[in-house]
Chain A
């Protein structure tokens, strides 16, 4: 088990460096999920860094594919990718594109269009059930993505088939593309909706590693599990937190230095 707090810090650092170098978008979306990724890759998921295709590994799917720098950072920090590969992020013809790509070692599924990860994860979980395999499937979704009807189709199907080997995590940072989730298409009462859909629902602080760990390791035999992770978009860099504009902007040299300094002092 890794020091997940330190791992989260390194994931944030990698993400900032990649986005700055490539002058890419979506840094705040990656900072929002860094703690969840750190706990998943640092202590919850079973995998072999030297054999990322190990059949018994747990499967992770990033449905909010625009936050890929968080996952690329995590994969590099745990040794599935090399740090050197991160330097190619956003370059012409690089497999490390600005939405997560299955062409990268350790990545199960390419996304970028929202509402695709959960149905795909349902298929993974179903296959484990057919094969009576022990591994689990984790799907990380955004809150804005919950607008997609395909997710609700998948919520219904997974509950009907009692896919207890499937965990959905909703990164509920309350901001989507043009403004707040509440002012776009409100999700509340989200927990009640998911309960009504037949899922085992947990609400946690998505930056508290103990809460994340407990929620993701709960033993549940009869239902799929959903974790509503209350998060802060841009978490860890004060001037990016809760700001819609950091869904789009890239840090300049000074902003990068300031952001990295904040990570070190936190």
Chain B
């Protein structure tokens, strides 16, 4: 996902002189293509995230679209007030990019586990969350963000994820994107972010799931609850999957959204990370399993 991100960003910068990349002293082996090609539009803010986001807002207020790149919680929680006041309140085109979403950096410990970031970003009125599930969705999110500069949060995994989509999909905030089509309206799965592959594999390989559709939702946020509520209103049960804690997460957002439907609300089954995983170390796969993420398999 990292490589798809930097490729899209570099491509965009060739056509758009307003694209700027600011990193928080991270991105070794990732950001060089951009830094080498656009040295005047690349800044390393050092290990100083508050200033990184504050100056990004200053640049954005002069017409630049600034991408702030760092790892896990550093560009979000460390500088949460700068995102809230400087970026979101002023409605400025700054995209916070966090690599290592969920438990991607499982072995690095709790400091590097980004499992509460949706909760933070979801509470900002102008914030668009981009949580792609594979490299194709990364490219789709980047194309959308470049075309629609705004306060935004791009949550990436790490590198080497396989592509589920065969081509770059067209995506719209709050609109579920079909991954696997089934005939059932009784039950659908909707995932966001990295669980895309594991959900997709399971549904494709499970006979009982052949009628179940799988959607993904790479673009969402506070402003799109009505859209998603409308989109999901035809279904009876919606199973959500995310690699984030339940509290303040994606499933919680869906639940709040469908609660706006007056009659025949779909029931929502949330599959998220159990908080017992906080503090555990291990590979992403092991920790996701330990945190109950794979419980969605019981939901068919």
Selected contact of B59 from candidates A111, A113, A118, A127, CB within 8 Å:
A127
**Pair A124/B62 contact, Cβ less than 8 Å:** yes
Known: A123-B59, A127-B58. A113 touches B81 (CB 8 A): yes
Bound-state CA distance A210–B69 (Å) is 45
**Pair A130/B54 contact, Cβ less than 8 Å:** no
Main secondary structure on B side of the interface with A: helix
How far does the Cβ of A236 sit from chain B's closest Cβ, in whole Å?
Answer: 31
* Contact residues in B for A128 (Cβ distance below 8 Å): 62
**Pair B85/A122 contact, Cβ less than 8 Å:** no
Bound-state CA distance A102–B58 (Å) is 13
Q: Which chain A residue shows the least CB distance to B48?
A: A153
**Pair B85/A113 contact, Cβ less than 8 Å:** yes
**Pair A130/B51 contact, Cβ less than 8 Å:** no
Which A136-157 residues sit within 8 Å CB-CB of chain B? 149-150, 153-154, 156-157
* Contact residues in B for A109 (Cβ distance below 8 Å): 61, 86, 90
How far does the Cβ of B253 sit from chain A's closest Cβ, in whole Å?
Answer: 26
> Which one, B37-45, B128-136, B166-174, B265-273, is touching chain A?
B37-45
Residue tally, chain A, CB below 8 Å to B:
29
Selected contact of B51 from candidates A112, A119, A127, CB within 8 Å:
A119
Bound-state CA distance A265–B114 (Å) is 61
Bound-state CA distance A128–B64 (Å) is 11
How far does the Cβ of A177 sit from chain B's closest Cβ, in whole Å?
Answer: 18
How far does the Cβ of A148 sit from chain B's closest Cβ, in whole Å?
Answer: 8
A115: Cβ under 8 A from any B Cβ: yes
A32: Cβ under 8 A from any B Cβ: no
B202: Cβ under 8 A from any A Cβ: no
**Pair A120/B61 contact, Cβ less than 8 Å:** yes
A25: Cβ under 8 A from any B Cβ: no
How far does the Cβ of B26 sit from chain A's closest Cβ, in whole Å?
Answer: 16
**Pair B55/A122 contact, Cβ less than 8 Å:** yes
A110: Cβ under 8 A from any B Cβ: yes
Which B240-297 residues sit within 8 Å CB-CB of chain A? none
Bound-state CA distance A150–B48 (Å) is 8
**Pair A120/B57 contact, Cβ less than 8 Å:** yes
How far does the Cβ of B11 sit from chain A's closest Cβ, in whole Å?
Answer: 20
Q: Which chain B residue shows the least CB distance to A130?
A: B40
B50: Cβ under 8 A from any A Cβ: yes
Selected contact of A119 from candidates B62, B82, B89, CB within 8 Å:
B82
Bound-state CA distance A96–B9 (Å) is 39
A116: Cβ under 8 A from any B Cβ: yes
**Pair A120/B89 contact, Cβ less than 8 Å:** no
**Pair A123/B60 contact, Cβ less than 8 Å:** yes
A121: Cβ under 8 A from any B Cβ: yes
Bound-state CA distance A108–B90 (Å) is 10
A126: Cβ under 8 A from any B Cβ: yes
- Bitwise, B1-36 to A at CB < 8 A (1) or not (0) is 000000000000000000010000000000000000
**Pair A116/B54 contact, Cβ less than 8 Å:** yes
B46: Cβ under 8 A from any A Cβ: yes
- Bitwise, A10-29 to B at CB < 8 A (1) or not (0) is 00000000000000000000
- Bitwise, A189-231 to B at CB < 8 A (1) or not (0) is 0000000000000000000000000000000000000000000
* Contact residues in A for B63 (Cβ distance below 8 Å): 127
Q: Which chain A residue shows the least CB distance to B49?
A: A153
Selected contact of B48 from candidates A124, A127, A156, CB within 8 Å:
A156
Bound-state CA distance A224–B51 (Å) is 16
Would you list 16 pairs from A and B whose C-beta atoms are within 8 A, ordered by A residue?
Answer: A102-B90, A108-B61, A110-B90, A119-B54, A119-B58, A123-B56, A123-B61, A123-B62, A124-B61, A126-B43, A126-B55, A126-B58, A126-B59, A150-B82, A153-B48, A154-B54
Interface residues of chain B, those whose CB is within 8 Å of chain A, are 20, 40-41, 43, 45-46, 48, 50-51, 53-64, 81-82, 85-86, 89-90
Query: Can you name 20 extra interface pairs (CB under 8 A) apart from A116-B82, A120-B54, A125-B58?
Result: A113-B85, A116-B54, A116-B81, A116-B86, A119-B57, A119-B58, A119-B82, A120-B55, A120-B57, A122-B54, A122-B58, A123-B60, A123-B61, A124-B61, A127-B63, A127-B64, A130-B20, A150-B50, A153-B48, A154-B55
